[in-house]
Homo-oligomer: A and B are copies of this chain.
Amino acid sequence: MAVIYEKVALIGLGLIASSLAWGMKRGGLAGEITGYARSAETRDIAREIDMCTVCDSACEAVQDADLVILCVPVGAMDSVMAEIAPSLRPGATLSDVGSVKRAVISAVSPHVPDGVHFIPAHPLAGTEHSGPRSGFAELFDNRWCIIVPPEGADRQKVEELASFWRALGSNVDEMDADHHDLVLAVTSHTPHLIAYTMVGVADDLGRVTDSEIIKYSAAGFRDFTRIAASDPTMWRDVFLTNKDATLEILGRFTEELFALQRAIRRGDGEHLHDYFTHTRAIRRGIIEAGQDTAAPNFGRTTGGKT
């Protein structure tokens, strides 16, 4: 594949940034990759694993970059952007990978200098691990990346960013920020909050010991714990910044949950059976869409990056 951006700068050097670096190297998509993280420790690790040219300041990293990608938690976008804004070169594309889009746009837009093209994006790919060592080139393969171009965005720059994500292995969709935030509240943010809650309840129950919960997790709970092992800072920021959509979906969720709870209390088996039959169809759709396989996964004893 050919170089798409001569110089790419990554601000933040965690899971997503390191996966980007390895993915760019795999595809030969960037002439040069620079990067910066706030802590010396993270910068040292990034140097050690030879992820990119690690700079000693964010401004140095973005100097002359054709593409700058903000890879920090959503709540840190504002301050990071304020710092690098004066060093961005006119004509550059500025993007991010934040899990929430309306809040990132509000935080970043005011700082964007004239001539810099701000085109937010969100790759729907991640793991429950974080930090520079957790990244891998295949993370984005066959996953979706949602690009959220602001009104009046330069179409050529948008297309260029889309082709970059495709070259990283992703499928690309475009959406407006509010719709993105609602879709993600349903498919990601609320499920994460629920998983965190359930794991917290399990831990808090005096009559069942932690070791029992851990031993018997294979019965369904294990997937919840994987979700609930995700980075606390990232997720705090997601809920604080996608508040309205998350609260809306949570409201719906508790409404439905109460209806099922009442059916259990009353012994209304038909209601339960109908509900459970209905939800099976969605699973079939996901398998058909290639987002998962039909192979039974609860009984798995091994896992892998592929």
Give the chain B neighbours of A302 by CB distance below 8 A: 293, 295, 306
Give the size of the chain A interface in residues (CB under 8 angstroms).
Answer: 117
Determine which of B182, B186, B213, B229 lies in contact with A201 in the assembled complex, contact meaning CB atoms within 8 Å: B186
Contacting B at CB under 8 A, from A165-189, are 173, 179, 182-184, 186-189
Q: How far is the CB of A220 from chain B (nearest CB, A)?
A: 4
- Tell me whether A208 is interfacial, beta carbon within 8 Å: yes
Known A250-B257, A282-B202: A275·B191 in contact at CB below 8 Å: no
CB–CB B278/A203 < 8 A: yes
Central interface residue in A139, A205, A213, A282, by most chain B CB within 10 Å: A282
- Tell me whether A42 is interfacial, beta carbon within 8 Å: no
Give the chain B neighbours of A289 by CB distance below 8 A: 211, 214-215
Known A240-B267, A303-B297: A252·B205 in contact at CB below 8 Å: yes
Determine which of B188, B216, B280, B297 lies in contact with A232 in the assembled complex, contact meaning CB atoms within 8 Å: B280
- Tell me whether A152 is interfacial, beta carbon within 8 Å: no
- This chain: how many copies in the complex? 2
| Cβ contacts A30-58/B at 8 Å (1 or 0 each) | 00000000000000000000000000000
In the bound assembly, the distance between CA atoms of A85 and B109 in angstroms comes to: 75
- Tell me whether A160 is interfacial, beta carbon within 8 Å: no
Known A283-B128, A292-B226: A139·B299 in contact at CB below 8 Å: yes
| Cβ contacts A70-108/B at 8 Å (1 or 0 each) | 000001000000000000000000000000000000000
* 11 A-B contact pairs sorted by A residue (CB < 8 Å): A129-B294, A142-B301, A183-B212, A186-B208, A187-B216, A188-B221, A201-B256, A210-B282, A218-B292, A236-B273, A295-B305
Interface residues of A (CB under 8 A from B): 75, 124-129, 134, 136, 138-139, 141-144, 146, 173, 179, 182-184, 186-205, 207-208, 210-230, 232-233, 235-237, 239-240, 243, 246-247, 249-250, 252-254, 256-257, 260-261, 264-265, 267, 269, 272-273, 275-280, 282-286, 289, 291-306
